[in-house]
Structure 1
Amino acid sequence: MGIFFTVVLPIIAIFGAGFILQRIRVLDVKSIATTSIYIFLPALVFTSLYEAEYDKGFTIIIIFALFLLFMMILINKVLARMFKWNQSVESATILTTAFMNGGNYGVPVILYSVGSSALPYAIFFMVLQSLIMNFFGVYYASRSKNGISRALKTIFKMPATYAALLAFIFQKIPWEIPEAVYSSLSMLGDAAIPIMMVMLGMQLASITSLKFNWQVLTSAVIVRMVISPVLAVLFIMAFDVNTLIGSVLLIVASMPSAATTTMYAIEFDTEPDMVSSITLVTTLISIFSLTILLNFIV
C-alpha cells in the first residue's frame, strides 16, 4: 500500500483536481491543451533530451514502440474477424489499445516511481508515441484516401517534433545555450508535467457520452491492460533489457488508453462514445493495476 499512497494517490489527486474543476467551471480544454502543446511540452522535451546521454536504451525504446504498435493492430484485426466487427468498431479498438497514455499519465508515474534517471527515456517514448499516434491514429480514425497525407501534415504541425530535433542538433554542435535562455526553458519544462496531469482530469471530465458494448469494451480492456504489459515482459526478456529501461517499457505498456484518441474519434466520427467508454474504464482500472505493478518493479 506504500506505493499507492506515495506514487499513485498523489497523481490521481492531481487528475481529480482537473476533473472537479472542469465539472464545476466547464473550461475550454482545447485552449489549455494548445498552450501545453505549443509552449510547455516543447520546453520539457527539449530540456530533457538535450541533457540526456544517448545510449542503446533509446534504440530499444524505438524497437519496442513499433513492436507493440503492430502487435496491437494485429490482435485487434484478429478480434475484429473473430467477432465480426465492422471497420468502424475495429478502428475504435485500435485507437484505444494501440495508443496508451504515455504522456500526461505515464511520464509522472515513471518520474515519481522509478526516478529522474528514467525521465529522459519516458520523455523520448512520449515524443515517439506522439509521432506514432499522430500518424497511425489519424490514419485509422479517418480510414480515407487522404488519411496518410493528413497524418503526415499532423506530425509536422507538432512543436514537440521540432523540439526533439533541436535537442539532438544542439547536443552535437559546439555552442552552449545562454543561461538566461535555458533557465526560461527549464521553468516552462518544469511546469509541463503538472499541467499535463491536470489536463488529463479535465479531458476525462469532458466525456459526456458513453457506450457500453460489453463485448468490445471487455476485449479492448483486456488487450490494453493485460495483453500489452504481457507483451512488454516478453520483449524485455527476449532482448535482455536492463532494469531501468525495462521498468519504463513495462509501465508505459500498462498505461490506459490515451485521452487524445477520444478527440480523434470525435473528429472523424469513429465510434466516439465507445472510444470514450474504453478510455474512461481503462483509466479507472489503472488505479489498481498500476499499484499492483509498481509494487513488483519499484
Structure 2
Amino acid sequence: MTYFVYILINNIVPISIMIAIGSVMYRAFKVDIRTLSKLNFYVFSPALVFVKLYESEMNLHVLMQVLLFFVLFFSLLFALIEVVIRVKKMQGGMRSAMRNSVIFYNSANYAIPLNQTVFAGNTYTLSIQIVIMIMQTLIPNTYGIYTVNAHKSTLKATMKTILSLPVIYAIPVAILLRYFHVPVPHSIYLPLEYISGAFMATALLTLGVQLGGMKWEFHFSNVLVSNMLRLAAGPALGFLIVWLLGIEGLTAKALVLSCAVPTSLSSVLLAIEYDNEPEFSSQAVFSSTLFSMFTIPVVIYLLDFM
C-alpha cells in the first residue's frame, strides 16, 4: 500500500497535472506543438543527458554486467514485439510506433526517483539505473529515428537527421569529460543545469498539447497490446534474464525494477517530430503511466522473493 500511495502522489498526480496544463494551453491558445518538439529534441534533451552523465558514478564491473543484461532484454523484447506485430498484421508507421512504445521506457524521470525510493537512496542501485538511462537515451535518438523514417525516407536522409541531433554528441563529450575529470566552467554548466531541469516539464506539456489537439479516436486494441507488453511482459522478461544470468541481490532487483516502468515520452516526441502515429503514441504513454500505478507495486512485491 505504501508503494501504491507513493507512486500515486509522487508520479501519477504530478505527471497528470502537467499533462492537463498542456492540454488546457492548447485549447486556449492553440500552442504550436512543432516548436515544443524542436525544443525537446535540440535543447532540453541534450542538456539533460549531458548533466546526468557528467554527474553519474559507475564502475566498469557494474557497467559491463548491466550492459549484458540490457542487450539480452532489448533483444528478447524486440523479438516478442515482432511476433505480436506480425500476428496483428500491423502496417506502415504503426509497426514502428508499436515497437517504440514498448522498447522505449521512462528510465529517467520516472525510474530514477522510483529506484531511490524502493532502495532507500542506495547509490549502487542508482548507478545501475543511470546506465539503463544512458542506453535508453541513445537508442531512441538513433534506432528510434531510423524506424519512424525507414518506411518514408532514404537511409542517407535518415542518417543525416540522426547526425544532426545534439544528443548524439552530448553523450561522448559528457563521458570523456567525466572520465578525464575535466571541470566544466560554472558559467557553462549552470545554464545546462537550468535547461536539463526544464526537460520533464516541457516534455509533459508537449504530451498535454498533443492530447489536447487529438480527435480522440482511441486505438483501444493497439494501446492495450502496447501497455501489456510494456508493463507485464517487460518485467517478466527482466525476471527471466536475471535468473538465466545468475544475477542476484540488489543488482537483480534494480535491473528488474528498471524494466517495469511505463512508456517513455521519447516515443511521443519521435511520433510528433516525424508525424508517425502521434495519437497512438500519446495514448500509449498516458495509459501506461496511469496503469503503472497498479502494476509496479506488484513488481516491487515480487522483488522480495528474489
TM-score normalised according to structure 1 size:
0.81
Match of 1:58 in 2: 63
Contact 2:49–2:134 (CA under 8 A) maintained in structure 1: no
Q: Which moved more, 1:141-150 or 1:279-288?
A: 141-150
Counterpart-to-counterpart distance in 1, 2:131 and 2:109: 13
1:198 — aligned with what?
Answer: 201
- In 2, the alpha carbon distance for the partners of 1:85 and 1:98 equals 17
Identity of matched residues, %? 19
- Give the match for residue 232 of structure 2: 226
- In structure 2, how many angstroms separate the alpha carbons of the residues matched to 1:6 and 1:134? 31
Q: Distance in 1 between matches of 2:280 and 2:218?
A: 7
- In 2: Cα distance, 1:143 partner to 1:242 partner: 40
CA contact (8 A) 1:138 1:151 kept: yes
For residue 203 of structure 1, what is the amino acid of its counterpart? Answer: T
5 Å-filtered alignment, 1:81-96, equals 81-96=86-101
Any residues of structure 2 matched to 1:17-166 within 5 Å, and which? 17-26=17-26, 29-30=36-37, 33=40, 34-48=42-56, 52-114=57-119, 115-117=121-123, 118-144=125-151, 148-149=155-156, 152-153=159-160, 156-166=163-173
Is the contact between residue 37 and residue 273 of structure 2 (CA under 8 Å) also seen in structure 1?
A: no
> d(CA) in 2 for partners of 1:186 and 1:120?
23
Question: Compared with structure 1, are the counterparts of its residues 99 and 237 closer, same or farther at alpha carbon in structure 2 (3 Å cutoff)?
Answer: same
Q: Deviations over 1:159-215 (max 9, x none)?
A: 555444345434554x6638xx479848955984x6444344323312232443333
Q: C-alpha distance in 2, partners of 1:88/1:38?
A: 26
Partner amino acid, structure 2, of 1:23: S
Task: Report the residue type matching 1:107 in the other structure.
Answer: I
CA gap 1:92/1:170 in 2 versus in 1, 3 angstroms: closer
Quote the residue 2:267 is aligned against.
261
Corresponding pairs, count: 291
Q: Distance in 1 between matches of 2:279 and 2:259?
A: 24
- Conserved in 2, the CA contact under 8 Å of 1:45 and 1:189? no
Q: Which shows bigger deviation, 104-113 or 139-148?
A: 139-148
8 Å CA contact retained: 1:14, 1:197: no
Instruction: Please tell me whether the aligned partners of residues 101 and 226 of structure 2 are also in contact (alpha carbons under 8 angstroms).
Output: yes
Unmatched 5+ residue regions in structure 2?
none
> CA 1:109–1:196 in 2, change beyond 3 Å: closer, same or farther?
farther
Task: Report the CA distance shift for 1:140/1:160 in structure 2 as closer, same or farther (over 3 A).
Answer: closer
Q: Amino acid of the residue matched to residue 121 of structure 1?
A: I
**Structure 1 position 4, deviation (Å):** 2.9
Equivalent position amino acid for 1:82 in 2: V
Distance 1:246 1:85, change over 3 A: same
**Residue 87 of structure 1: CA displacement?**
3.5
Q: 1:160 to 1:116 in 2, by over 3 A?
A: farther
1 CA distance for matches of 2:162 and 2:65? Answer: 22
Change (3 A) 1:136 1:170: closer
Q: TM-score, normalised by structure 2?
A: 0.79
Instruction: Tell me the C-alpha RMSD between the 2 structures.
Output: 3.2
Per the alignment, in what secondary structure is the counterpart of residue 14 of structure 1?
Answer: helix
* Stretches of structure 1 lacking an aligned partner (at least 5 in a row): none
* More off after superposition, 164-173 vs 233-242: 164-173
Assess if the C-alpha contact under 8 Å between 2:141 and 2:167 holds in 1: no
The equivalent position to 1:292 in structure 2, one of 268, 291, 298, is 298
Q: Which amino acid aligns with 1:5?
A: V
